[in-house]
Amino acid sequence: MQNLNPTRIIARRGRNFMLSGAGLLIGGLVFSAVVLLLIILTSTTIFGVLFLVLGSLAVLVGIFLVIRGLTFRRDNPEARIVGDALGHELDARYYYIRNIGKRGLGYIDAVLVGPPGALVFRITNEVGAFVNEDADWLEERGGRGLTLKRHDFTRECAVDVHALRDYLAARGFQHVPVYGIVVLVNPRTQVKTNQPRIPVAVLDTLKVIMQGDYLALDRIAPEEAKQIVDTIYS
């Protein structure tokens, strides 16, 4: 299995954000300084204040873009753990892409692409004792029974599955099946399932759970799997 992380793409995207932000920041500062000087010299108030507000907005947007460029997530440690585990189980026909963030697709922890199709991973390192019933996630809190979790991993995974289906369909791969799975990687976490809408696994059960769903059949040609990888990874 090939374990891929689009670090160069992420670095380029972050650099573009920072360059755009720096340009807006400098331009906004210069524009605001000129407007302020004109206000002082000509006593213009209404239009001067309006232009000053526009310049200040450009500065704020520039600062936001610079910060966004600096904070791009360079890797997903939890997705790397899953990829390392799968690397010992799957052959070279499979491609595991982690830390995916693209316009039109959003952020996805990881996607596995191979002859069975595409498999979307929702991966979490949360610690606790959880119960998954259908699409609902409950958490056991010491002595207080089960409470509904704020993070619903199943619904979050379903959102990512639909996003990838739409993304691939828009690029001519509407026939490619897209599956989903929730993986809990923390060894101290316990999970019970009752007819889960989307398969749930821990690292020890990951391959077995995948064999009952995603890995059950080969559905696309290896050449097409490579084309899908290029589409997602580019």
DSSP string, the chain: -EEE--HHHHHHHHHHHHHHHHHHHHHHHHHHHHHHHHHHHH---HHHHHHHHHHHHHHHHHHHHHHHHHT-----HHHHHHHHHHHTTS-TT-EEEEEEEETTTEEEEEEEEETTEEEEEEEE---SEEEEETTEEEEE-TTS-EEE-SS-HHHHHHHHHHHHHHHHHTTT-TTS-EEEEEEE--TT-EEEEES-SS-EEEGGGHHHHHHTTGGG---S-HHHHHHHHHHHH-
My answer on whether 60 and 22 are in the same domain is: yes
Pairing outcome for strands 106-114 and 95-102: antiparallel
Percent of the chain with pLDDT over 70: 87
My answer on whether 115 and 6 are in the same domain is: no
pLDDT recorded at residue 210: 96
Q: Which domain holds residue 97?
A: 77-233
- Of 54, 70, 86, which one is at a domain's C-terminal end? 70
With 60 as the cut, is the pLDDT of residue 11 above it? no
Q: Tell me, what CATH number does 181's domain have?
A: 3.40.1350.10
My answer on whether 171 and 86 are in the same domain is: yes
C-alpha count within 13 angstroms, C-beta hemisphere, residue 15: 6
User: For residue range 136-158, what is the model confidence (pLDDT) as tens digits?
Assistant: 999 987 666 778 888 899 999 99
With 60 as the cut, is the pLDDT of residue 18 above it? yes
Q: Which residues contact 67 (CB under 8 A, 6 or more apart)?
A: 21
My answer on whether 115 and 173 are in the same domain is: yes
My answer on whether 93 and 124 are in the same domain is: yes
Give me the number of domains the chain comprises.
Answer: 2
Q: Structure pTM?
A: 0.75
With 70 as the cut, is the pLDDT of residue 44 above it? no
My answer on whether 129 and 176 are in the same domain is: yes
With 70 as the cut, is the pLDDT of residue 14 above it? no
Looking at residues 182-206, what average pLDDT do you find?
A: 94
Looking at residues 59-72, what average pLDDT do you find?
A: 73
Looking at residues 117-142, what average pLDDT do you find?
A: 92
- Of 70, 105, 121, which one is at a domain's C-terminal end? 70
Are the CB atoms for 21 and 68 separated by under 8 Å?
A: yes
Confidence band, pLDDT 50/70/90 cuts, at residue 51:
confident
pLDDT recorded at residue 50: 78
My answer on whether 121 and 215 are in the same domain is: yes
Confidence band, pLDDT 50/70/90 cuts, at residue 8:
low
My answer on whether 147 and 42 are in the same domain is: no
- Of 70, 98, 121, which one is at a domain's C-terminal end? 70
My answer on whether 210 and 115 are in the same domain is: yes
With 80 as the cut, is the pLDDT of residue 36 above it? no
My answer on whether 111 and 12 are in the same domain is: no
My answer on whether 131 and 188 are in the same domain is: yes
C-alpha count within 13 angstroms, C-beta hemisphere, residue 20: 13
Confidence band, pLDDT 50/70/90 cuts, at residue 15:
low
pLDDT recorded at residue 27: 83
pLDDT recorded at residue 26: 85
Rounded to whole angstroms, how far apart are CA atoms 104 and 231?
A: 12
Which comes out higher in pLDDT, residue 143 or 94? 94
Please state the φ and ψ torsions of residue 3, each to the nearest 5 degrees. -100, 110
My answer on whether 48 and 141 are in the same domain is: no
